[in-house]
Structure 1
């Protein structure tokens, strides 16, 4: 398992990342979703990609994990519910962090793979930095249009509950929401509990609550990105599950429809997570696409 490393960005900011595999191999950026940390990516998936001759780079987005936290005032619960734009950053700013990391690592190009909000960041990278992104893979993500990709009400209510105040509450809340949005194929409670327990300490405890709210603000501030996605020209793979209650499946269909020439793979039983039983399938899809 690779240790945490840091890339210094302008303005005394830094991005935490891990690098797996030979540094001269073609690079793959794995970008996590809302409130998640780089430790969320399954090690078996990372190892499989490295064995395919790729260099895998995972990173903490701003306002999560061990990357820099901003001082942006996060949107209130009501502002989040009504999708009200607020002062702060957007997905374009988060994509620019990834480009700064690539610059720091002297990576001219990379394959971009993102899940959920990370898929939105990866989409933005492909749209705005076409010479830097070799292929795009968007996993259970959406376009930002309010007509598609919306969470089920029972998932939304879980998100709007009072933020956890300690590690025990954080682990409880994470397991509660994963019972709603997770895949029907497998229930890996031990792995989920281990991730959530470690993430509370690694992500700064209660500070992570504000970070997640700021990231929600970035999604809201970016609005409907459908028109921008229509300008993507790199080879694109869209993966979605048919049991996703966090980002409705029509968000995946809309993403594929917006990006010219993209391919859509719908995985039966997959929810809004990466269950162990699908590691082989995802590895085959990703490696095949990037070849």
Structure 2
């Protein structure tokens, strides 16, 4: 089963001047583009960057692949039984397809090359962009992500249980269930009100639980990126929070270890989130990493 040739429409918006260097922000697993807060985008744009954020396929207001329903239990059972062909037949796309979506968005916006910044699954997509489309990528920033290799970036049992526990289908229950995300948030800056506010906005804007199963399958079936990361020549920054329990900091350390010349920024008091209190640290790091390099 393949849906790689299906036209995909991506909801997106931009901040700043299109004449400035472009920064493409890639969202994580099941997360809409609004997970990159508007204020964060504006502050980064104020550093002289043309900031682009978008909904991945199967999320928010972008194209949904509802013609390919996935029973998550059946998919996990097939993977655990090593029946990879059966698992592959359930999932209509891979991370490479999602990376291609972002590249086509850049083309549609008239952007030849961009700095790509991805968080969590978005980091995996951004890594894939750099591996498969190096001519389009000015720099890579992989944030709170990993390489896809076993033994790196593992979740704690509590974080994994919170991630995969079904969320209520009604609006009130869905919003209240956002509290569970505190298990992987910054221990110092975790904010229930902010989590619930984002959950409410996401629910009202484009709630799509079926899409998350397909995104999960795409992550699992895409395998690891170790060989591609070792061969990268793209300027790379790896950012990881030391409080992260959803993707352990070993995922960031391993990414930086594999990519030649990569710079690793381990952030105290940061979990699997971007608390507003740490925006100055993150935006400063991104602004420096994406600054134009002098030409010879």
Q: TM-score, length-normalised on structure 1?
A: 0.91
> 1:20-50 deviations in whole A, cap 9, x for unaligned?
1112211100111000011111233211211
Match of 2:34 in 1: 39
Match of 1:19 in 2: 14
Aligned residue among 162, 165, 179 for 1:175: 179
From the superposition, tell whether residues 235 and 12 of structure 1 become closer, same or farther in structure 2 (CA, over 3 Å). closer
Task: Check the 8 A contact 1:123/1:136 in 2, yes or no.
Answer: yes
Task: Check the 8 A contact 1:65/1:199 in 2, yes or no.
Answer: yes
Q: Is structure 2 residue 273 aligned with structure 1 residue 269? A: no
Q: Distance in 1 between matches of 2:281 and 2:75?
A: 38
Alignment of 1:25-174 (within 5 A): 25-70=20-65, 71-74=67-70, 76-77=72-73, 79-80=75-76, 82=79, 85-87=87-89, 88-174=92-178
Match of 2:189 in 1: 186
SS in 2 for 1:150: coil
How many Å apart are 1:161 and its aligned residue?
A: 1.8
Q: Distance in 1 between matches of 2:214 and 2:5?
A: 20
Q: Distance in 2 between matches of 1:162 and 1:184?
A: 24
How many Å apart are 1:232 and its aligned residue?
A: 1.4
How many Å apart are 1:78 and its aligned residue?
A: 5.7
Q: Is structure 2 residue 201 aligned with structure 1 residue 198? A: yes
Task: Check the 8 A contact 2:189/2:269 in 1, yes or no.
Answer: no
How many Å apart are 1:190 and its aligned residue?
A: 2.1
How many Å apart are 1:171 and its aligned residue?
A: 1.4
Q: Is structure 2 residue 289 aligned with structure 1 residue 285? A: no
Q: Distance in 1 between matches of 2:279 and 2:9?
A: 30
Task: Check the 8 A contact 1:80/1:216 in 2, yes or no.
Answer: no
How many Å apart are 1:75 and its aligned residue?
A: 5.0
SS in 2 for 1:22: coil
Q: TM-score, length-normalised on structure 2?
A: 0.90
How many Å apart are 1:170 and its aligned residue?
A: 1.6
SS in 1 for 2:12: strand
Q: Distance in 1 between matches of 2:8 and 2:141?
A: 27
From the superposition, tell whether residues 228 and 241 of structure 1 become closer, same or farther in structure 2 (CA, over 3 Å). same
Q: Distance in 2 between matches of 1:158 and 1:188?
A: 16
Q: Distance in 2 between matches of 1:213 and 1:175?
A: 21
